[in-house]
Amino acid sequence: MTRCLSFLSALALGACATSPLPAPASISDQPIDPALAVATFDSAWSTINRTYYDSTFRGIDWNGARAELRPRAAASRTVGELRATIRSMLGRMGESHFGLIPAEIVTMAAEDDDSESEGGGDVGIEVRVVDGAPLVWRIDSAGPAFAAGVRTGWIISEANGFSAAPALAAAMALPDPRARNEAFRLAGARLRGRFDGDSGSVVAAAFVDGSGRARHLRITRRREPGEIARFGNLPPLNVLLTHSRIAATPGCVGYVSFNIWLTPISPAFDRAMQALSDCRGMVLDLRGNPGGIAGLSMGVAGYFVDSVVPLGILRTRSNDLRLVTNPRRVSLTGAPMRIHEGTVAILVDGGSVSTSEIFAAGMQYLRRARVFGDTTSGQALPALTRRLPNGDVLMHVFSDYTLPDGTRLEVRGVIPDVVQPVTRADLLAGRDAALLAAVRWIRER
């Protein structure tokens, strides 16, 4: 579901954040049995103690964290107090991909997915914070928001009574640019989540258009396009891949965009590559893609690299796992395929996280692709999930990731070869500057 994807975007596939999901019936104020609270805390601590990639914990006193926080967990009177204690412990790690997903969110998403109701719906927009303002960044021309008159570049003042203004004002005051950008991203994801809900239901939203005029609209959500996928203990996730041709004389430039790295993209990407096989170049759009299964990067890279070469290294506590390209000479249906030998451009931004960063950095390192857009989030640590005794889901890092030459992406992120930030003027003009720059580069070559 898009709203579950929005949740993971805000969570950065692990970074603690306020959920943008429609609020389920909260159990945070419910009392918790002390024995269950301690068992839940101990399970979270021991899981990280056993699986974290660095046995020295990068100098962090992990045993000291347990000694200090376990009594607080035992004294927790409510579920919310216990969660606050566990999140405090996770925050001491100082890295991405540590997070706690409340049990009610996972349960709500699963029940919604399994029900016979209309289920998850959206209005066909994506949100970006630009210069401190939440903007309509992308819009589906076949979606209800577009039909209601919404256009890219409009400022989103409110959605179903929620305004991101206070969070954005607080973010503007942060002195550290990386922290400020991350706060912008989380606020945008939370606002974006307010546009999701049951298909057929209505969202009341307020916008400011390109001329500065306030627009108050009621938009009926549609049944959201895409395919539902499940991954481990995470909520059901909606997977959507689209492809198209961009005219280029002679021939065409292929364009592929997908919203998350989960298994349904494999057949969809295969079909896209077959449909675009005659194009002279390819643009892979990973903007806003929060990652997923790191191993899928090897298969996707194999459509463009005709030999087995390293994309990067996952360093666990016990061994190194090498990510390598997997040349695709046969389609998933068994038909012969040619490796795409044309020019490749990859689009990224601050919403490109985890596997999106691993893939983009690996292709850039191999000099097989040129990267356009904004610097990525710098949250590239592989993680696992574990159900805790109280039903919450722990997301925890088990591996470090580096490029073959040892360069870490954590914090640093992927730095584009061509920096092309999003501006409101471009959005209001219906202009995708990063995509235009990538296509122009392909045409020139």
- In tens, the pLDDT along 399-413 reads 999 999 999 999 899
Question: Span 361-371, mean pLDDT?
Answer: 97
Q: Which range among 124-133, 149-158, 172-181, 343-352 shows the weakest confidence by mean pLDDT?
A: 172-181
| Residue 341 pLDDT grade (very low, low, confident, very high; cuts 50, 70, 90) | very high
Convert the pLDDT of each residue in 3-15 to its tens digit.
344 334 334 333 3
CA-CA distance, 362 to 343, in Å (whole number)?
16
- Please say if the pLDDT value at position 250 is more than 60: yes
Quickly list DSSP for 133-183. EEEEEEE-TTSHHHHTT--TT-EEEEETTB--HHHHHHHHT-SSHHHHHHH
State which amino acid sits at residue 160.
Answer: N
Instruction: Give me the CATH number covering residue 292.
Output: 3.90.226.10
Burial bucket for residue 203 (CB in 10 Å: 0-12, 13-18, 19+): buried
Q: What tokens does 181 get? A: 């950008």
One domain for residues 65 and 167: no
Average pLDDT over residues 258-267: 94
Model pLDDT for residues 410-436, shown as the tens digit of each residue: 989 999 999 999 999 999 999 999 999
Q: Residue 236 — pLDDT band, cuts 50, 70, 90?
A: confident
Higher pLDDT, 178 or 77: 77
For residues 420 and 279, state if they share a domain: yes
**pTM value?**
0.86
Q: Do residues 370 and 358 both lie within one domain?
A: yes
Domain final position from 91, 113, 135 = 113
Q: pLDDT tens-digit profile of 208-232?
A: 999 999 999 999 999 989 898 877 7
Please write the tens of the pLDDT for every residue from 50-82. 999 999 999 999 999 999 999 999 999 999 999
Domain boundary among 113, 142, 169: 113
Report the amino acid identity of residue 179. A
CA 34, CA 17: separation in Å to the nearest integer? 26
Domain that holds residue 80: 34-113
Pick the residue with more confidence: 234 or 120? Answer: 120
How far apart CA 93 and CA 439 sit, in angstroms, is: 41
Give alpha helix (H) positions in 309-398. Answer: 355-365
Q: Give which of 1, 6, 12, 95 is closest to 350, Cα–Cα.
A: 12
pLDDT above 90: percentage of residues in the chain: 71
Mean pLDDT in residue range 270-293: 94
Query: How many domains does the chain fold into?
Result: 3
